[in-house]
Chain A
Amino acid sequence: MGRRRVVQDARRDREFKAFVAGAAGRLMHAATLLTAEPPDRNPRARRLLALSLAHTYACWDALRGEDPYDRTRGHLATHFARSIWRRPHPHPDSPLARLSPQERLIVVLRLYEGVAEEQAAALLGLPRERVQTICDRATAHLLHPRGAPPAVPVAKAVSP
């Protein structure tokens, strides 16, 4: 049993190393977009990604054909969603600095990572329509950072 364990550990390390070499760049960028930090000073994004990748390493033998990239991205999104309430203010250098944490999460999943609306909704436990609404709103904020965005909520515009 000890020998089999050693062989299994070596195989897991080899496969995992190849996976990280291929996926870490894109995941690091996604994590930095989520935490809204500048690309060269991103301690929170590094912590978030290290935690998600460690989870993927720990369940590597039980993946059974599931895509490790999807698994890591799911970890990343759920860890981030769970810690939204204690996020400090976004750094102005980040491209997503003007978005709320929830808008960042949905925009990164939907547009940067290309996750389908249904899957993103299932991952975050939101209705599909809500994901679509938030994504549209976030896109509008992102493209029109200053001045009135094209879709101003009516209630806000009318209230004295």
Chain B
Amino acid sequence: MKRAEREAAARRIMERAPTPVPPELYPEVLRRGRRMLRRRRATARLMWLLLLAATAAFVIWALTARPWVEPPSETTPPLTGW
């Protein structure tokens, strides 16, 4: 028996008895799908809010601390008078 014939025979065995679709499947899918979608949206919103809060906190800190300004020297006295 060639491979193609074997595969066709296996296909016929699998297609023998059709399976009915239960009527309660669709409402169940819709309920779970909507819940999943709601949760995904809530998670996405939360992540955006966190990102926004982190950005705002960084900007405020940067403006108050001004880390790009060279700090005044504390170890060596300023060289004056020569």
A57 B26 Cβ-Cβ under 8 A: no
A140 B25 Cβ-Cβ under 8 A: no
Q: Total number of A-B contacts with CB less than 8 angstroms? A: 86
**Of the residues B1, B7, B29, contact of A111 by C-beta under 8 Å:** B7
Mark A77-95 against chain B: 1 for CB-CB distance below 8 A, else 0: 0000000000000000001
The number of chain A residues touching the other chain, given as a range, is 35 or more
Check if B18 is an interface residue, CB within 8 A of chain A: yes
A32 proximity list for chain B (CB < 8 A): 19
- B window 13-64: CB within 8 A of A: 13-22, 25-26, 28-30, 32-37, 40
**Of the residues B9, B11, B40, contact of A58 by C-beta under 8 Å:** B40
Find the B residue at minimum CB distance from A58.
Answer: B36
Q: Is the interface of B mostly helix, strand, loop or mixed?
A: helix
B25 A50 Cβ-Cβ under 8 A: yes
A57 to B18, CA, bound (A): 25
The number of chain B residues touching the other chain, given as a range, is 20 to 34
A33 B36 Cβ-Cβ under 8 A: no
- A window 1-60: CB within 8 A of B: 13, 16-17, 20, 24-25, 28-29, 32-33, 39-40, 42, 45-46, 49-51, 53-58
CB distance from B69 to the nearest CB of A (A): 42
Find the A residue at minimum CB distance from B14.
Answer: A112
Check if A108 is an interface residue, CB within 8 A of chain B: yes
A29 to B18, CA, bound (A): 7
CB distance from A2 to the nearest CB of B (A): 13
CB distance from A157 to the nearest CB of B (A): 21
CB distance from B40 to the nearest CB of A (A): 6
A95 proximity list for chain B (CB < 8 A): 13-14, 16-17
B17 proximity list for chain A (CB < 8 A): 39, 95
A residues contacting B by CB (< 8 A) are: 13, 16-17, 20, 24-25, 28-29, 32-33, 39-40, 42, 45-46, 49-51, 53-58, 95-96, 107-108, 111-112, 136, 138-140, 142-143
- A selection of 9 A-B contacts at a CB cut-off of 8 Å is A20-B26, A20-B29, A28-B20, A39-B18, A54-B32, A55-B33, A57-B37, A95-B13, A111-B10
B residues contacting A by CB (< 8 A) are: 1, 3, 6-7, 9-11, 13-22, 25-26, 28-30, 32-37, 40
